[in-house]
Structure 1
């Protein structure tokens, strides 16, 4: 009988063992009732679209898009998908083996991640988590790497799998922290989404969809957590980026509005002056004067100190 690769083996924190993928696949299910079964490896069942139910011997787990469950090795379970309501999933199974040269061991990962240490000692047969996006991105990158055929794919796959485990551990830690920690996570994810998409015509609904919350609820917890409204935060980010572009690049002022997600130069100029106190032109002039002191120039040309003596 194959060795059971349980996630919650205390030896994982003592031995130099690294996780490795044993199986992975995409699959769209429709009208499917799986028989109870178990695996010798840990399994991640991620819902890409649709919804489904995972039953274990102890609980019934409803999953929807963006949810995933981490099942320990040996946990009996089955998948149920209603007819006419297809569910697309990405599944990955992993076990453990002696760590090769350069591969991060579970012990090494846990030494730098208290969240992973906590996860490995939690001993929960099934952990249900909501993905803020990064887990699926890591899963997809891992699967792509395994399918790539590159000679170095094994090393890259090990690194990606280690990253994935730490991400899952952090989510599990936040979940154990209760509602306050969950709220804080939503606010942090919304702020990060804004910082990554400020250059687009960003709307509150888009940010809310990205973190899987109702727009009204997100705006309420965002203001409580950040001390400003979501729209004000977006405006502050845009103005900070505009100041950086004005001071450190030669991008024409007529184009900077587009670089920060505003489709009107006039509106950008008005907003910038309202928030910063001066026009974009004046801000750039002051930034240039500060960076290039007047004493360095003579008649518009740099003075060659080697010839001045």
Structure 2
């Protein structure tokens, strides 16, 4: 099998006529980035880690929710290979036709409506909100239990709960107004810095360069950056570079040392140590897993 992006088909999950499937899983490092022909709602229930979605990487924790439409690539990975620090995620996936009878209930100008029905027209082809007040968790937990038990008429209950979930996501997203962590929207000065990093990540970058670019002192820039992203400048840059490295390992046959140079690392000893720390395996192991093994169930 080559290193192309995996594409998952809903047929392997939708055994019931509802067209809705739920699970709660512990994410792993070996899961490849993928797209799918169904809509997926992901809710982080336990632990912390990273969500590689589209061309961004998010540091995630309990309460983070993403709506991933058809065709948007993503994968969750725990922050550590240590099994004592798991990243546990609820996944609710469903076919688009499940909403045929309910579509009119979602405001046509809402981000939920766009991400489900018109993702190609969005600057950011996914939706991310935070369940700050634990409004969503009880609902998605109940949905999961309903799916597992399969009591009489559970299909009707699941469908109605799905609409309740989407409506709640719309309300919370509307209350948040302009999300502070969406990279493609101008939410403050630091967006320009993060865009600069994404465009020049393979070059030699320093805190001083970014601070000068933002007309800030180095200490002010570092405090602001950490407060906004939850990461230091160095951590953010390293995560971005390793993400790009993983994508190249999975989709090309270029030598590892050449890929390391392409993402900004000349010191191969440092690069190998950093990759092992971030991903939990060597670059060669990562390539071998993703180019020879199939994708495990969501």
What range is the shorter-chain TM-score in?
0.3 to 0.5
TM-score, normalising length from structure 1?
A: 0.45
Q: Which has the higher contact order (CA 8 A, sep 6+)?
A: 2
